[in-house]
Amino acid sequence: MPERGPDPAGSVQRLLPSDPSAIAGYRLLGRLGAGGMGVVYLGRTEAGELAAVKVTLSGQADDPDFRARFRREVEAARRVSSPWAVPVTGADPEAPEPWMATAFVPGPSIAEAVAAHGPLPVRSVRILGVAIARALAAVHAAGLVHRDVKPGNVLLAVDGPRLIDFGIARTTGESALTSTDMVVGTPGFLAPEQAEARGAEIGPPSDVFALGCLLAYTVTGRLPFGRGAVDALLYRTVHDAPDLRGIEGDMAALLAGCLAKDPAARPTADQVAERLAEDEPRGADWLPPEVVRTIAERSARMLALPDIDLTRGGKPGPAATGAGRRRVLLLSGAAVLAAAGGGAALWAGLSGSGGSAGSPRKRDWVIGVQADLTGPQKRVGAEQERGARLAVDAFNARADRPFSFALRTADDRGDTIRATAVAREMAEDRDITAVLGSTGDYTTQAVRPLYEEALLPLISVSAGLNLLTAADNRAFNRTISSHPEIASQLAYSLQRFYSLRLKRRKARPGLIQDRTDDEYSWQYTVRFNQLMQTVYGHHTLPRVVPASVEDYGPVVDSILDARADAFLHSGGPRTTAKVAKLLRERKFDGPMLAGGHALDPEFLKEAGEAAEGWTIGAPVGDPTALATARPFAAAYRKKYGTAPGYYAGEAFDAVNMMIEEVVGAAGGGKRPSRETLAGALRDKTYDGVMGYYRFDPKAGGLTGLRTHLHGVKQGRFTYIGTAPTEDPGRWKG
């Protein structure tokens, strides 16, 4: 649980009645964050200095192993002396509720900055690299290994970055308190020796490897070993070359050295600092202006903190006056306000204008949309946003409406880090009654716990990972079938083709697991392979293609040489098009199947004539082909001047469900609680333009199976209909 600045929205949460009002000499002003281990508070000393105060839960403190780990964290942080590491300002690991305070940094983390503003300029990254390398050199000089260098553990300030969180640091050569075969750290920023849990080999070079990952991410916005399932990510870290595209010159050579598989081949932290050879930051100009503005805005929000709330600790002593609080903050924040060029405007904003501060604002009725509008799935995200807007507009046009809805849209760019920032903002906005989103599998996976914690209803119409509905959910529902469920219906469709059309009892389908989208492809091929082999008794020909492979020819040829009579490719539109072209060149005439991600105009464009004859199993139907959706399709064309996309209809239905339940629960105009609305949506059955919806009462998945088949004819997708369904008892489990 790192010592962080404010959350991505730049706000400090109010204290709960159960929170203490003070810890040791720190008055607590608000919450910065909370986790399974405890809470991080924003605290202030009697002298007016701000601190991030981490307090562990009393239940954790009763665990001797946990207390020993916390004691080690305090000791490790105290041993590091560097201007680029956040210093410890106080701690008591022996207290009934152990606590530790560190200097407060109001700036964003690298993760937040890159998510909000994109990769940093090369000069900024070089200066950042010098500072963090020197911080790691101090860590290593103290006989420690940090073991969790990642974007979330580096905060950005106008005078340079700060390394935080020594929660899993350990002494060089020390046996970990955790199991020796446990992978400790953050996948994507682990060295190969950490990924394989080779405890004896974990040392300072492991931190240098993580620093290489950190700098590569900061300058490109990409993880050097990609994203996806943890086991696949760890495998690529150990075996694959890093993705350093777009990095040039000495920076590329240095990062390649940092990311060497052999720890002995990596430079030391001191050598990294020397090779980057940039001046240390001496002002805000080391950061791009938009990041400086973010720091300025956060510093300004600190000036507007409310007085201390009465909490568990009883009536607090006299708090510093507003003027005193501002005076202290100005000592650390005046420079950044001036550097942002907006000091006067920020002060004016804090003073307010018009209306009494005590008069409550009338709350709006808002539906939130969290979508990828500018990232890799921007087409799908735009379809969802349009469908949602059409639903809101249709309701607001009704003469009998009790109130009107507004639509609040946020672009998470398909990035998991930015997605969590968006979700926090949505969850904190008490006007928002329910949310549609997110667009992608991995962004939805990242934000679901945040919406669950806030009990803010979230409906996904496009995320198909099975884990999203594999555990208990109270606030999350999904209107589509999961990837494995769709794979199951594709398998049964092919089985029917074999038995009814070809009269075959034994067949040889080929399967390509495309690791450019690892988790999605794995879920498709594993379920499809399982059914074809164990249920239907066919001889499958599976192949796995690493993400780095560009030439699919040898893979396709090896399957054809084994006498394959059908193909399933589970990947995105570009790689599906590669396979389609190869099969056309080889004159393959058997069934060719693909998963839902191939239902994309890019597949038609890239494959050309080779797309003809392919069948795609997708979670959504075609609104222009369904009789029930004709009025919706007509209204969509009238508003947007084009036919609705595949996911627009599902979004239209989902938002109509939300509106119907909000209105139904808002008796007498009273706003229903989020918990009430979440329960009502879970129990709801709804007959929409795209189909019938009913949710699993425990996990929120769509009950029953619903896969839509789309074919390619004359260069266009043609809707075939819903896939045939077999008794699910034969394959579930």
382 and 493 in a common domain: no
In this prediction, residue 375 carries a pLDDT of: 93
The answer to the question of residue 331 being in a domain is no
In total, how many domains does the chain have?
Answer: 4
Q: Which of 523, 581, 516, 515 is nearest to 553 (CA)?
A: 581
Other CB atoms within a 10 A radius of the CB of residue 562 amount to 12
Tokens for 239?
């075996």
Residues 120 and 235 in one domain: yes
| CA 704 to chain centroid | 28
- ∠ at Cα 326 (325, 329), nearest 5°? 90
What is the CATH number for 82?
Answer: 3.30.200.20
State whether 94 and 119 are in the same domain: no
Q: Which domain-ending residue is among 244, 270, 286?
A: 286
Same-domain status, 92 and 118? no
- At 665-686, the pLDDT tens digits run 887 678 899 999 999 999 999 9
190 and 277 assigned to the same domain: yes
Q: 371: domain CATH number?
A: 3.40.50.2300
Query: How far is the C-alpha of 658 from the C-alpha of 21, rounded, in Å?
Result: 39
Domain end marker among 87, 103, 119: 103
What are the Cα distances from residue 428, in Å, to 370, 423, 456?
A: 14, 9, 10
Alpha carbon dihedral 207, 215, 301, 326, in 10-degree steps, equals 70
Residues of the domain holding 372: 366-481+626-702
Chain centroid offset of residue 306 CA? 31
Q: Give the phi and the psi of residue 722 in degrees, each rounded to 5.
A: -75, 145
Classified as helix, coil or strand, 714 is coil
Give a yes or no: residue 309 inside a domain: no
Euclidean distance between CA atoms 206 and 150, whole angstroms = 12
**3-state secondary structure (DSSP) of residue 370:** strand
Residues 675 and 650 in one domain: yes
The one catalytic residue in 7, 148, 372, 411 is 148
- Contact 570/512 with Cβ under 8 angstroms? yes
What's the rounded Cα separation, in Å, for the pair 40 and 33?
5
My answer on whether 460 and 579 are in the same domain is: no
Task: Say if pTM beats, i.e. exceeds, 0.75.
Answer: no
State phi, psi for 693 to the nearest 5 degrees: -125, 130
Other residues' Cβ atoms within 10 Å of the Cβ of residue 327: 12
Residue 299 lies in a domain: no
Q: How far apart are CA 526 and CA 544, in angstroms?
A: 11
Whole-angstrom distance, CA of residue 31 vs CA of residue 625: 51
Cβ burial, residue 578 (10 Å; 0-12/13-18/19+): buried
- 182 occurs within a structural domain: yes
C-alpha dihedral (406, 407, 410, 413), degrees to nearest 10: -170
Q: In whole angstroms, what is the distance from residue 179 CA to residue 167 CA?
A: 16
Q: Measured between alpha carbons, how far is 286 from 142 in angstroms, rounded to an integer?
A: 28
475 within domain boundaries: yes
Q: What size, in residues, is the chain?
A: 733
Q: What is the maximum span of the chain, computed from C-alpha positions, in angstroms?
A: 86
At 172 the pLDDT is 53
Q: Is the dihedral of CA 342, 347, 353, 355 positive or negative?
A: positive
Same domain, 147 and 279: yes
38-44/50-56 β-pairing: antiparallel
What span, in angstroms and rounded, lies between the C-alpha atoms of 516 and 595? Answer: 14
Neighbour tally for 653: CB within 10 Å: 25
CATH number (domain holding residue 163): 1.10.510.10
Phi, psi of 725 (to 5 degrees): -120, 130
**Tokens read off for 55:** 């307090």
Judge if 52 and 156 occupy the same domain: no
Is 148 annotated in the active site?
yes
Q: Are residues 165 and 252 in the same domain?
A: yes
For residue 715, being part of any structural domain is answered with yes
Cα separation, 361 vs 356, whole angstroms: 10
Q: What is the pLDDT of residues 484-531, one digit of tens each?
A: 999 999 999 999 888 876 566 789 999 999 888 878 998 899 899 999
Query: So what's the pLDDT on residue 639?
Result: 95
Same structural domain for residues 272 and 393?
no
pLDDT of residue 501: 67
Q: Which residues of the chain have pLDDT under 50?
A: 1-10, 173-182, 307-360, 727-733
Residue 411 shares a structural domain with residue 500: no
Chain centroid to Cα 343, Å, comes to 33
CB 261 within 8 A of CB 202: no
Q: Which two tokens stand for residue 281?
A: 């930051």
Residue whose structure tokens are 């679901």:
448
Among 246, 267, 286, identify where a domain stops: 286
* Within a domain: 13: no
Tell whether 654 is covered by a domain.
Answer: yes
Rounded CA gap, 34 and 99, in Å?
14
Q: Is the dihedral of CA 309, 425, 693, 569 positive or negative?
A: negative
Q: Which of 427, 535, 524 is nearest to 485 (CA)?
A: 524
Report yes or no: 625 and 721 within 8 Å, Cβ to Cβ.
Answer: no
Other C-beta atoms closer than 10 Å to the C-beta of 49 total 17
Given this model, what pLDDT does residue 167 score?
Answer: 54
